[in-house]
A and B are shown apart, each in its own frame.
Chain A
Amino acid sequence: AQTVTQSQPEMSVQEAETVTLSCTYDTSESDYYLFWYKQPPSRQMILVIRQEAYKQQNATENRFSVNFQKAAKSFSLKISDSQLGDAAMYFCEAKNSNYQLIWGAGTKLIIKP
């Protein structure tokens, strides 16, 4: 069975510093997509960044970037210059060619002012 593991239930970082959230996945598929979603307190879940497994280049969206290591099945999210608005639950998600959606348990990110 496919699994997605987020080993850090909670992380904290000082404002303006950098933090990395970890995500590992297990799939036998060769064609899949990986996503990070953010759920701020009492607000809707929104997409942060996505990575296609066939692309070797790591995805980047402004202050958010991923470290995608396909062989190690690792997909970590790096947030640079952390801001108070980054405080949220972060979920890692994997989708395979059969449209199966597998989610990690989430990491609560706390930003210290």
Chain B
Amino acid sequence: KAGVTQTPRYLIKTRGQQVTLSCSPISGHRSVSWYQQTPGQGLQFLFEYFSETQRNKGNFPGRFSGRQFSNSRSEMNVSTLELGDSALYLCASSFTGPKGGELFFGEGSRLTVL
């Protein structure tokens, strides 16, 4: 069974640009959540989607957005990139919706903003 796949794995952008990251969950998983991981801030929850609906959102500005498609694949978008957006962006999927279910993580997309 394929794991959670995130693309691209690495990308470099400049300030002011926008970026779209993709996450393909494990087959059958309907919940996808996104996280920003930085050395100073640890793991920060961005948002979670379940059956194409955003169910929860963390405390990030509106420049960070996401969506989920009918096949459960999810994308997140960051507009007007800032230097502070440089981070590892992790995606995780879950079968039951993450209340009690184990999260399965992808390897992440490492974004560098110059």
A positions within 8 Å CB-CB of B? 33, 35, 37, 43-47, 50, 52, 91, 95, 97-106
Indicate if B43 sits at the interface (CB-CB under 8 A): yes
CA distance A44 to B108 in the complex (A): 8
Segment from B17-25, B63-71, B75-83, B96-104 that makes contact with A: B96-104
Q: Which residues of B contact A91 (CB under 8 A)?
A: 42-43
B positions within 8 Å CB-CB of A? 3, 33, 35, 41-45, 48, 50, 55-56, 90, 92, 97-100, 102-103, 105-107
A-B contact count (CB 8 A): 52
Q: Is the interface of B mostly helix, strand, loop or mixed?
A: strand
CA distance A45 to B92 in the complex (A): 9
Residue of B nearest to A1 (CB): B59
Q: Check A99 against B105 for contact (C-beta < 8 Å).
A: no
CA distance A99 to B31 in the complex (A): 11
Beyond A52-B100, A98-B56, 14 additional contacts (C-beta under 8 Å) are: A33-B100, A44-B106, A45-B90, A45-B103, A46-B105, A47-B102, A95-B100, A99-B48, A99-B50, A99-B56, A100-B56, A103-B42, A103-B45, A106-B42
CA distance A103 to B44 in the complex (A): 7
Q: Which residues of A contact B106 (CB under 8 A)?
A: 44
Report the minimum CB–CB distance from B54 to chain A (whole Å).
Answer: 11
Q: Which residues of A contact B100 (CB under 8 A)?
A: 33, 50, 52, 95
Q: Which residues of A contact B45 (CB under 8 A)?
A: 101-103
Q: Check B42 against A47 for contact (C-beta < 8 Å).
A: no
Residue of B nearest to A101 (CB): B45
Q: Check B90 against A99 for contact (C-beta < 8 Å).
A: no
**Assuming the A-B contacts A33-B99, A37-B103, are A101 and B33 also in contact, with contact meaning beta carbons closer than 8 angstroms in the complex?**
yes
Q: Which residues of A contact B43 (CB under 8 A)?
A: 91, 103, 105-106
